[in-house]
Structure 1
Amino acid sequence: MPAHWSLDDIDWDRFDPSKVDPELLKLVKAASLVEHNGGEYTDFLCKVFDGDQAFLTEVRRWGVEEVQHGKALAKWATLADPSFDFDSAFKRFVEGYRPFEEGATSSKRGSRTGELVARCIVETGTSSYYTAISKQAEEPVLAQICKKIAADEFRHYKLFYDHMRRYQKLEGLGRFGRFRVALGRLGETEDDELAYAFYVANTDPATAYDRVRDARNYTSRAFRQYGKEHVMKAAAMMLKAIGVPSNGHLAKAIGNMGWMFLRRRAQTG
């Protein structure tokens, strides 16, 4: 199944080691593990949406693109730090972090609509995150990669949003139900996935994983990448998924609160 772009489209010969930010490098290493694990999420969604062949075709394409993101980020990280052993790190990551209960075939969000709302929230976060990094990165190849990934994530948001609207009409999940799912998924940004990925990618295996320490190490770096415009855009996308107008006073208020929260967390970890 063809991907939207390939690693051959990246201008690798423009890589400039003098412009690598060591703190961004740590984030990229972690992101490469999470993105490359897209195959596991694809398998899960195929179980949840079994029988919906039109959607499954698009989900499988989505999964291919997610894995490709991981490959691109891993290649860049290896250029920036030749000692980074991606294959070994990824093996440790998937052995230590399991996003789904074994044998799960239904969404913990309670419905297919709820699962798609959750996916919209994830794509909201990733599209804003990679947009922010593409603006922050001085190293030109990383900026190019993140710009391409961000564009993919915006398309992925639309993919899940369009199918969420379709299922919402069938299942009738109202705004409050969608809000609860969105709020729950936002809370899961504090779970183990990103903290553990950061730990595996950047810490000697002899040092034990510490969720509080490693989550702080991740968030203090990741949240510093955002500008206010990225947070405001994310707030609008989140409200759209819930079914609330995304260009009014509520969106502005939520965006401002989100910006203050991120600034505080970036300073304190």
Structure 2
Amino acid sequence: MAGTSSASLRQRPRGTEEGSHGWHVDDIPFERIERRAIEGNEDLFYLLMSASFVETGSDTYAANLAEHYRDYPEIAAWLQERWESEELQHGAALRRYVEAVWPDFPWQEAYDSFFGEYSKLCTVEELHEDRHLEMVARCVVETGTTAYYHTLRELSDEPVLRELLGNIRNDEVGHFKHFLKYFKQLQETSPVSRAKIAGALYARLKELRESDSDVALRHVYAHRGRHFSESRHSFADIAQRAYQLVSTQLPADLAVRMLLKPLLLPPRIEGYLHAPIARFATRVMAP
């Protein structure tokens, strides 16, 4: 945002973020889920269950991020008051959906097992020491989640799920825009080089394959019980297929446009780099 300095970010009090949630979990008509359209879909069983785990555990990560940006009250307030609550709403909505479709799955038991491992990975030390570059990393993560939920929406014809995933995808786009805005503000007073930005983009993009979803998938598989018990797929098969589905259906054009934004390139150069970045991103994300 032009004219907003890093100093003003430090000084702005809490509660100045405008806007509110565009939807609420109670708005989703879970009672109208067409179970027969989805309950036999093994791929979506694993992808949706694992997403519900990661989103439900997001408050731990949000707290760490807010602490990381404690010297910037506007950023810390948005992380605590908006980003965290919206991520938790995603988790609550996804949980209600998967429990409605697969009511016999021991969700709480499986989640507790997942969180016991996941919480140990959510530490302040995992964040980039340079707050500029952590914002770049956040932009990559939000690009990945936007593409992920867009892809899941395209994989299903179940109307309630498509509505829910569309809402979550739109939230993730909004989160990306906020992280990009805050990155630009930080850049105005103490800019980091494009080389460092590109390095942070590359490093975080590579890490997407080794993400929280790996941990979540493992715990869903371990607690699946009778669900898809007739399937001959091993966990390695399930994980490979999940990555293949997401990567092959990835909305590459959308993802690349988002990935290029933190570089703050002139439009002409951004257009020139679009094709090679698209090939690179697809190769990195491919199984």
Q: Given the two structures, how large is their TM-score scaled by the length of structure 2?
A: 0.81
Distance 1:107-1:200 versus aligned 2 partners, 3 A rule: closer
Secondary structure of the equivalent of 1:122?
helix
* Distance in 1 (alpha carbons) for counterparts of 2:198 and 2:246: 27
Structure 1 residue runs of 5 or longer lacking an equivalent are 207-212
Q: Which amino acid aligns with 1:100?
A: C
Tell me the CA shift for residue 99 of structure 1: 2.5
Match of 1:202 in 2: 221
Distance 1:222-1:107 versus aligned 2 partners, 3 A rule: closer
Indicate yes or no: 2:118 matched with 1:100: no
Alpha-carbon deviations, 1:90-119, whole Å to 9, x = none?
211111122234xx3x66423111111110
* Distance in 2 (alpha carbons) for counterparts of 1:215 and 1:44: 31
Asked whether the 8 Å contact 2:141–2:208 carries over to 1, the reply is: no
Tell me the CA shift for residue 71 of structure 1: 1.1
Indicate yes or no: 2:99 matched with 1:78: yes
Match of 2:128 in 1: 109
* Distance in 1 (alpha carbons) for counterparts of 2:283 and 2:199: 22
Asked whether the 8 Å contact 2:197–2:263 carries over to 1, the reply is: yes
Asked whether the 8 Å contact 2:62–2:84 carries over to 1, the reply is: yes
Alignment of 1:23-34 (within 5 A): 23-34=43-54
Match of 2:8 in 1: none
Higher mean C-alpha displacement, 228-237 vs 39-48: 228-237
* Distance in 1 (alpha carbons) for counterparts of 2:105 and 2:266: 44
* Distance in 1 (alpha carbons) for counterparts of 2:243 and 2:188: 36
Distance 1:259-1:74 versus aligned 2 partners, 3 A rule: same
2:34 alignment partner, one of 16, 30, 36: 16
Alignment of 1:161-240 (within 5 A): 161-191=180-210, 193-204=212-223, 214=235, 217-225=238-246, 230-240=251-261
Structure 2 residue runs of 5 or longer lacking an equivalent are 1-14, 226-233
* Distance in 1 (alpha carbons) for counterparts of 2:48 and 2:220: 9
Secondary structure of the equivalent of 1:18?
helix
| Larger RCO (alpha carbons 8 Å, 6+ apart) | 2
Alpha-carbon deviations, 1:202-247, whole Å to 9, x = none?
22499xxxxxx75663342243145667112101111112334575
Indicate yes or no: 2:151 matched with 1:132: yes
Higher mean C-alpha displacement, 184-193 vs 110-119: 184-193
Match of 1:88 in 2: 109
Asked whether the 8 Å contact 2:66–2:77 carries over to 1, the reply is: no
Q: Which amino acid aligns with 2:121?
A: P
Tell me the CA shift for residue 159 of structure 1: 0.4
Q: Give the count of matched residue pairs.
A: 255
Tell me the CA shift for residue 131 of structure 1: 1.1
* Distance in 1 (alpha carbons) for counterparts of 2:284 and 2:62: 32
Indicate yes or no: 2:36 matched with 1:36: no
* Distance in 1 (alpha carbons) for counterparts of 2:34 and 2:224: 29
Alpha-carbon deviations, 1:179-210, whole Å to 9, x = none?
1111111121232521110011122499xxxx
Alpha-carbon deviations, 1:17-51, whole Å to 9, x = none?
11102211210000001111110111101111113
Match of 2:65 in 1: 45
